[in-house]
Structure 1
């Protein structure tokens, strides 16, 4: 893993150098949570130009990094910068909804990978009823529209959706409960209905991220509106303290994405 981290940092720094030398925006591939953490923990003075990250919608997990020369960074607002990313959205729908299977995230991802697509060229996969929205690098759009015709046993059609037309309201479960403190391990226990000892092991194993940054401290103090992601388990947003009990515990609310 250390070798992979070193290679990734080298590639990211090279992209930043190219942006500085050529005076154009340079983009990474889609980065997963661990790769985003490597980016965010690389000393800022390693990059000759600043960067921003975006995955096609808020709040995406897999994101591209854009390295911005001064001419872009100083004169473009966030919305304008986001419009430059080479990200396209594909909607995958069954040709015969009545006979379509219940397809999972793994099914859609498997169909993409079976076409020879590398994971780094695809972002998040969002599932709504019997349709899915997939964020991909723009260079793959035409190929996938033509070649993605089946997911498991279901015949599908892929069409591009204009970014401006895309609206996504994530489904979530609101959970309220009391915790001894607004520590990361306490909130994880509330969100996933599991023991703190088990969740502490996940934190120590490097599977927990707050706003895309790896957190390995059980006592990390979570702030209002922070998004906590646990690899292979899910994610939730901590909304804040509603009240304090007479025994000094905190009554909090979180939104767990489903």
Structure 2
């Protein structure tokens, strides 16, 4: 069986690039820095280290628990320094009296400016402030080119990491009951969709479980799974219990806010 058989068709271009990087590091015994990766890409890269010898995968996204990270590939005898990840922390200054900036607003502004998604990491928009973590090589571009978000004038200011408080996950908890932990049943209850309507985006490849596309409506969810449905949002399956008197399963979900 080929190593490529373990991955979905749409993941193969990344798998090929990842194998090239790993092989290069193995051959040259030098460090190699990736762009920002999502958790699925990070997991793929880690799994592919079995195809080479003496290559270590060291991720960092600016803080513990960051979702999007840059990865340093390196021999085991080299220890990466934080500066080598080339991350810049930008604080977004804006008058938000008339419009509260949201995560999607910041992402849209960076993409509309011509940046590729691989060049910026997590965006934090909460009560503590608005921040964007970007690759150092595009920080000046962001500061000079992105001056408005959702018709609100903004200024991106580089700040020191010690002034930054990492965000805590914020969930709106909800108890639901389902006949089974099938993903179509669960997202139907979470987002108030009929089973028939829930199946449509799943079949279209718009559902991810733990950042991996799942297009099987009968896929069973387990406690700890992170579920995202394009256009609807994300939630985490916190706990499964039950059954109820009618035989249904109780699920505690946390909808990301």
TM bracket (short chain) = 0.7 to 0.9
Change in Cα spacing, 1:58 to 1:114, as seen in structure 2 (3 Å) is same
Superposed CA offset, 1:38-69 (max 9, x none): 94698664455354655445665544444343
Aligned residue for 1:151?
Answer: 149
Q: Is the 8 A contact 2:237 2:252 kept in 1?
A: yes
User: Are 1:174 and 2:179 matched, yes or no?
Assistant: no
Change in 2 beyond 3 A, CA 1:6/1:182: closer
What secondary structure sits across from 1:30 in the alignment?
A: strand
Which stretch of structure 1 is more off in the superposition, 126-135 or 170-179? 126-135
1:24 aligns with 2:30: yes
Q: State whether residues 89 and 132 of structure 2, in contact with CA within 8 Å, keep that contact through their aligned partners in structure 1.
A: yes
CA offsets 1:68-96 (integer angstroms, 9 cap, x no match): 43335xxx7xxx888853333322121x4
Residue 36 in 1 paired to residue 41 in 2?
yes
Report the equivalent of 2:236: 237
Alpha-carbon distance between aligned partners in 2 of 1:83 and 1:70, rounded to the nearest angstrom: 18
How many angstroms does 1:200 deviate by? 2.1
Q: How far off is 1:142 after superposition? A: 3.6
Query: How far off its partner does 1:161 sit?
Result: 4.1
Compare 13-22 and 107-116 and name the one that shifted more: 107-116
Q: C-alpha distance in 2, partners of 1:208/1:57?
A: 27
Structure 2 residue aligned with 1:187: 186
For residue 69 of structure 1, what is the aligned residue in structure 2? 75
Q: Distance in 2 between matches of 1:232 and 1:163?
A: 32
Residue 246 of structure 2: SS of its match in structure 1? coil
Q: Whole-Å Cα distance in 1 between the matches of residues 184 and 90 of structure 2?
A: 37
In structure 2, relative to structure 1, the CA distance for the partners of 1:3 and 1:182 (3 Å cut) is closer
Q: Which runs of 5+ in 2 are unaligned?
A: 1-7
- Residue 18 of structure 2 contacts residue 45 of structure 2 at CA under 8 Å; is this kept in 1? no
Residues 89-108 of structure 1 correspond to what in structure 2 (within 5 A)? 89-94=89-94, 96-98=95-97, 100-108=98-106
Distance 1:101 1:173, change over 3 A: same
Runs of at least 5 residues in structure 1 that lack an aligned partner in the other structure: none
CA distance in 2, matches of 1:197, 1:63: 36
> For residue 111 of structure 2, what is the aligned residue in structure 1?
113
Q: Which residue of 2 aligns with 1:85?
A: 85
TM-score (norm 2): 0.77
Question: In structure 2, what is the Cα distance between the partners aligned to 1:184 and 1:66?
Answer: 35
Q: Deviations 1:167-220 (Å, cap 9, x if unpaired)? A: 212332111011112222222122212122222222222222222222222222
Q: Compute the TM-score of the two structures, normalised by the length of structure 1.
A: 0.77
Q: CA–CA distance in 2 between the matches of 1:53 and 1:247? A: 46
Match of 1:198 in 2: 197
